[in-house]
Structure 1
Amino acid sequence: MDKNPQNLVFAIDIGGTYTKIGLVNQEGDVLDSRKFNTDAKQPYSQFIKKLSDEIQILVTPFKKKYTIHAIGIGAPNASYISGKMISPPNFRWGESVIIKDNIQNLLKLPAYITNDANAAALGELYYGAGKAMTNFIVLTLGTGLGSGIINESKLIYGQYGMAGELGHVNVYPEGRQCNCGLKGCLETYASVTGIKRTVFELLSDNNSDSLLRSYSYDQLDGKTISEAAHKGDELALKAFDKTAKILGRKMADSVAHLEPEAFILSGGLSHAGDLFIQPLKNYMEAALFKAYKNKVKIILSKATSSDSILGPAALAW
């Protein structure tokens, strides 16, 4: 298709907290966007009703001048092949949600869906830090840990469209309970939720002063832990070090499987910058097979949270 500025796709990024929607041209320019609460713990029918209303608000001003060709959807545990969300761990929408067909019917346009982190990887490949690379892994370190694997400039889907769930590789067989039903999953340690759990374990294990001691679990977030670490809070720094150690070793495992040029990191956990990235790099390097040492980069994504619709847009294009 010619890169006509009047040609658009409709992009939807479904997160556990917020859903973002937008209209995007082939150059990756976002003409307009909206954000609303996903309410993932509420009935799925309520979400579809809210999404339908938000779509109409966004699309109506563009109908006369622009042509919308397709819909791209990024969603947790979504299969590109089946078009369903399969047992999304932080949602209460059921074990198999026929989301692609439902959304396709709202706009009467062809729709394409994949895991939200897979969509993020496509966004990096076409519009972001991965434009000059052919082999890389995207890690989204938010409420959970999402991942998307680009191999020879193509997204790896696997036999049933669910490949690349690095957040659910096992760290400790009898470790922390994961929302997916398993125990010891990587995302229970290496995510904003995971580091919060680490902070509270550290707080309970010693009586040292910490800026984080006055926060309840619900009040604490990744930004607060990062700010404390930047102020030299020893407990916050230790929490980041423990997280980096666990994630770095598992990243080394992924290097042995795939030999990527780089890992591209995004999400709340990455906001600590070098306080997290440097120990992460050190722990990964220490666990690497000699042939891979000093060859794999760790890069922070330049995409902001509002850029998350670029992944689904890349999928649609």
Structure 2
Amino acid sequence: MTDYILGIDIGGTNTKYGLVDRKGNVVNEGAFATHAHEKIEIFLKELKKHVLPKLEGKSVKGVGIGAPNANYFDGTIKQAANIVWGDDVPLKKLIEDLLGLPAVLTNDANAAAMGEMKFGGAQGMKNFVVFTLGTGLGSGLVVDGKVVYGHSGFAGEIGHVSVNPDGRYCGCGRRGCLETYVSATGIKKTVFKMMADYTRPSVLRDVSYNAMSAEMITNAAKDHDYIAIKAFEYTGQIFGQKLADTVVHSSPEAIFLFGGLVNAGDYLMDPATYYMEKFMFKPFKKSVKLVPSSLMDRNAAVLGAAALGWEEIDKDKVIA
């Protein structure tokens, strides 16, 4: 009988799940509303209703969970901005008790890094970085074949390095964080900056802030919209500078980009690559590949969460 890990990706809006074997094949996939702004008991009830029937008749060895602000060391979600279940939610234990399976938990970007290493373009690599460019900006660092957690369990939060200490307000309470510029939310703000700075016509001028999406901006850029292209250039410039800094810290072989913004292709990749090389410390120039994740067209979030579970099993121990 094939062995599986149950991969669970918890987002602010939806939770995805699936059973993943050692080769990255996914079966019994599904999704449901996270109920992030209600009591956690509602989430657990939905999880049980959707997932338990999918486990019947399967050899499931454990559960891997990716979630915002999740701490690998103590199995809690700590003060997640978009999930208001409490300041310190013991999610690992709650899910173990609910499903009767051992579980392991980490933040969603670290899970993405695990997925890239086990099932994606980083197979065989020991040093790389993954950036998830969604509503915010997440990042996972792998050094010597291991995800970097640091002392507290929250190492690698590159989305909250400072671009400008007097810059845009961030949901974390600080100003000028990288994710306020390089994310779906950030590029929306940049578009409105560009529309104020330039008089050129744009299809985006007729779209309200709340109605605008990163997908709209991407489609406008592909239709040669000047404002959209300038927004991606500005985003890529800021991102490229911080990518150069990231290389100095960890000396990766490659940097993988995942998320909706990556669908812009060269409109984002070209300026990001140019400015990364421009600001790169000389010993590292031309030594790091900047590439889209190879899991973009797959259920990467579930694969990443499951990869975490398989990693724990491969350590020859019960999932911690």
TM-score by length of 1: 0.94
Moved more, 45-54 or 172-181: 45-54
1:309 CA drift (Å): 0.5
- Match of residue 59 from structure 2: 67
Query: Aligned to 2:9, what secondary structure does the other structure show?
Result: strand
User: Structure 1 counterpart of 2:113, which letter?
Assistant: A
C-alpha distance in structure 1 between counterparts of 2:167 and 2:241, whole Å: 16
Give the alignment's Cα RMSD to 1 decimal. Answer: 1.4
C-alpha distance in structure 2 between counterparts of 1:51 and 1:218, whole Å: 30
How many equivalent residue pairs?
A: 309
Unaligned runs of 5+ in 1: none
User: Structure 2 counterpart of 1:268, which letter?
Assistant: G
* Residues 143-292 of structure 1 aligned to structure 2 (within 5 Å): 143-292=135-284
Does residue 90 (structure 1) correspond to residue 82 (structure 2)? The answer is: yes
1:305 CA drift (Å): 5.8
C-alpha distance in structure 2 between counterparts of 1:11 and 1:202, whole Å: 40
C-alpha distance in structure 2 between counterparts of 1:316 and 1:286, whole Å: 39
Query: Aligned to 1:195, what secondary structure does the other structure show?
Result: helix
Does residue 306 (structure 1) correspond to residue 299 (structure 2)? The answer is: yes
1:34 CA drift (Å): 0.3
C-alpha distance in structure 1 between counterparts of 2:242 and 2:255, whole Å: 12
- Match of residue 29 from structure 2: 33
> Does the CA-based 8 Å contact 2:204-2:217 persist in structure 1?
yes
* Closer, same or farther: CA 132–170 of 1 in aligned 2, 3 Å: same
User: Structure 1 counterpart of 2:180, which letter?
Assistant: T
* Closer, same or farther: CA 147–19 of 1 in aligned 2, 3 Å: same
C-alpha distance in structure 2 between counterparts of 1:170 and 1:14, whole Å: 27
> Does the CA-based 8 Å contact 2:112-2:300 persist in structure 1?
no
> Does the CA-based 8 Å contact 1:90-1:179 persist in structure 2?
no
C-alpha distance in structure 2 between counterparts of 1:241 and 1:124, whole Å: 27
User: Structure 2 counterpart of 1:308, which letter?
Assistant: A
1:53 CA drift (Å): 1.5
* Cα deviation digits, residues 102-137 of structure 1 (max 9, x gap): 111111111000011000000000100100311100
- Match of residue 315 from structure 1: 308
- Match of residue 21 from structure 1: 17
C-alpha distance in structure 2 between counterparts of 1:112 and 1:148, whole Å: 16
> Does the CA-based 8 Å contact 1:34-1:58 persist in structure 2?
no
Select the residue among 19, 40, 43 that pairs with 1:44: 40
1:57 CA drift (Å): 3.8
Query: Aligned to 1:212, what secondary structure does the other structure show?
Result: helix
> Does the CA-based 8 Å contact 2:116-2:294 persist in structure 1?
no
> Does the CA-based 8 Å contact 1:79-1:161 persist in structure 2?
yes
What is the percent sequence identity of the aligned residues? 46
> Does the CA-based 8 Å contact 2:9-2:65 persist in structure 1?
yes
C-alpha distance in structure 1 between counterparts of 2:45 and 2:300, whole Å: 24
* Cα deviation digits, residues 23-51 of structure 1 (max 9, x gap): 11111110120012223233333222222
Q: Please list every run of at least 4 consecutive aligned residues from structure 1 whose deviation after the TM superposition is greater than 3 angstroms.
A: 204-207
TM-score by length of 2: 0.93
C-alpha distance in structure 1 between counterparts of 2:200 and 2:36, whole Å: 37
> Does the CA-based 8 Å contact 1:9-1:68 persist in structure 2?
yes
> Does the CA-based 8 Å contact 1:175-1:184 persist in structure 2?
yes
C-alpha distance in structure 2 between counterparts of 1:259 and 1:157, whole Å: 17
C-alpha distance in structure 1 between counterparts of 2:136 and 2:31, whole Å: 20
Query: Aligned to 2:114, what secondary structure does the other structure show?
Result: helix
